[in-house]
Structure 1
Amino acid sequence: MMTNLFSTFDPSTNLLNLPLNWTSTFMGLLLIPMMFWLTSSRIHFMWNKLNTNLHNEFKTLLGTKSFNGMTFIFISIFIMMMFNNFMGLFPYIFTSTSHLAFTFSIALPMWLSFMLFGWINNTNHMFSHLVPQGTPMALMSFMVMIETISNVIRPGTLAVRLAANMIAGHLLLTLLGNTGPSMMMNLISFLILGQMLLMILESAVAMIQAYVFSILSTLYSSEVY
């Protein structure tokens, strides 16, 4: 019996006393066989279509001043997050994106690199972001503090948003699944139907949260030049 409801998300996978929890982070690569990259197929066409659409969208958000190839950073983040979110929907697979240790370790270095680049190369531009245009003189000092705080908490909000959304759906699936043994037989079908609908919702959330993470990262980076 679980002593804590969140203990279902504790790392516990091991083989021959070797921890294998974070190997699920790389299992998404198994879903992309090399033949799909080398020969033309429907999956190859779909993959190229996805990358092209993401590239065009990120390029629009970054603007004309962005560096060549910068969109591939955010496309890679989107694909990695999406695969990790989907892998967590399979039984007995560790959901790495539901842990802040994973999401924060991606959000913090990325945000820190944007800030260092912006303050070193575009100092005046970064100072201008602290006071929005049209701010009254009496409120300028308060706006500087508010904008500074909102800028500092950005990596935390990126990490918590992804982890909280992933753990919320898994927690709901766990709660409903634990009610199965004590439920009447004529209600089991409704439970299974509810679990199936929640799985469909979680599949959509897995893609949406990866998209939100990469889009917000793109918007944050577009403010530093």
Structure 2
Amino acid sequence: MMVNLFSVFDPTTSIMNFSLNWMSTLIGMLLIPTSFWFIPSRHMFLWMNIIFKLHQEFKTLLGFNMINKGSSFIFISLFSLIMFNNFLGLFPYIFTSTSHLTLTLSLALPMWLSFMMFGWINNTQHMFIHLVPQGTPPILMPFMVCIETVSNLIRPGTLAVRLTANMIAGHLLLTLLANTGPSMTMLMLTLLLITQTLLLILESAVAIIQSYVFSILSTLYSSEVN
């Protein structure tokens, strides 16, 4: 029985006080490598085409050259991990790990810290230039430095909260509508099933879009330190 509305997101499934909910995050790591031992199927060709398109786009955003060759694959892996967990959370009775700040902040914060450390150590002057946008009047420069510093510091938080909020919002809407089912008539129940199906399609699109937004923003943040 739910204690409150958000209890459906609590990691409560456990055996001998060992939480099993987070095991859903590792399922992809166990299943995906097995596909490399089979003859490539149509879904494998589709996935390789998606990876190639993402590589081309990330390569453009990163300013591809000999120094950062292969850097785009980090963000392709990030996109794959987030999208897999977003889709997995749409199945019944499976814990949505990306709806928790524990996972999303663990992805965003180390990447942002590594970008900042690399930029300030290797390109210090370039990082100082980013604090004052081009064409800023001299009298506004101290304020712009403060604003740019704050906006830079909240980047990992905005990345994590954006993904978490979008995952929670869709799941809460689906849960709230589903809880009204037992008290409905047959006609209203039919309309509810159609609405739930449409919302599930929307959530599938959100799962892809949010993983794409997370990886694209991470790529843009990394391109600023070069």
One fold, TM greater than 0.5?
yes
The worse-fitting range, judged by mean Cα deviation, of 127-136 and 36-45 is 36-45
Which segments of 5 or more consecutive residues in structure 2 lack a partner in the other structure? Answer: none
**How far, CA to CA, are the matches of 1:102 and 1:40 in structure 2?**
32
| Partner of residue 169, structure 1 | 170
Show the counterpart of 1:75: 76
Residue 124 of structure 2 aligns with an amino acid whose one-letter code is T
Contact 1:24 1:96 in 2 (8 A): yes
What does residue 211 of structure 1 align with? 212
Tell me by how many angstroms 1:16 deviates. 5.1
Partner of 1:201: 202
What is the deviation of 1:40? Answer: 2.8
Instruction: Name the amino acid aligned to 1:214.
Output: S
The alignment-based identity, stated in percent, is 70
Q: TM-score, normalised by structure 2?
A: 0.95
Which TM-score applies when normalising by structure 1? 0.95
Helix, strand or coil at the partner of 1:34:
helix
Structure 1 stretches lacking a partner, 5+ long: none
Distance, in Å, in 1 between the alignment partners of 2:208 and 2:165 is 15
CA distance in 2, matches of 1:38, 1:119: 45
Q: Distance in 1 between matches of 2:33 and 2:77?
A: 17
- Structure 1 contact 58–71 (Cα < 8 Å) conserved: yes
Partner deviation per Cα, 1:188-218 (whole Å, 9 max, x = no partner): 0000110000000000000000000000000
- Kindly report the root-mean-square deviation, in angstroms, between the aligned alpha carbons of the 2 structures: 1.4
CA gap of 1:185–1:143, structure 2 versus 1, over 3 A, is: same
Determine the structure 1 residue equivalent to 2:47. Answer: 47
Aligned length: 225
Give, in whole Å, the separation in 1 of the partners of 2:18 and 2:85: 21
Distance of 2:120 and 2:33 partners within structure 1: 42
Distance 1:212 1:35 in 2: 27
| CA distance in structure 2 between the partners assigned to 1:27 and 1:103 by the alignment | 17
Q: Compared with structure 1, are the counterparts of its residues 172 and 31 closer, same or farther at alpha carbon in structure 2 (3 Å cutoff)? A: farther
2:124 equivalent to 1:155: no
Q: CA separation in 2, counterparts of 1:194 and 1:28?
A: 30
Alignment-derived partner of residue 144 in structure 2: 143
Query: Where does residue 61 of structure 2 map in the other structure?
Result: 61
The alpha carbon displacement at 1:116 in A equals: 0.1
Alpha-carbon deviation of 1:27? 1.7
- Of residues 200-209 and 183-192 in structure 1, the stretch that sits farther from structure 2 once superposed is 183-192
Shift of 1:37: 5.6
Query: Is the Cα–Cα contact under 8 Å of residues 27 and 87 in structure 1 kept in the other structure?
Result: no
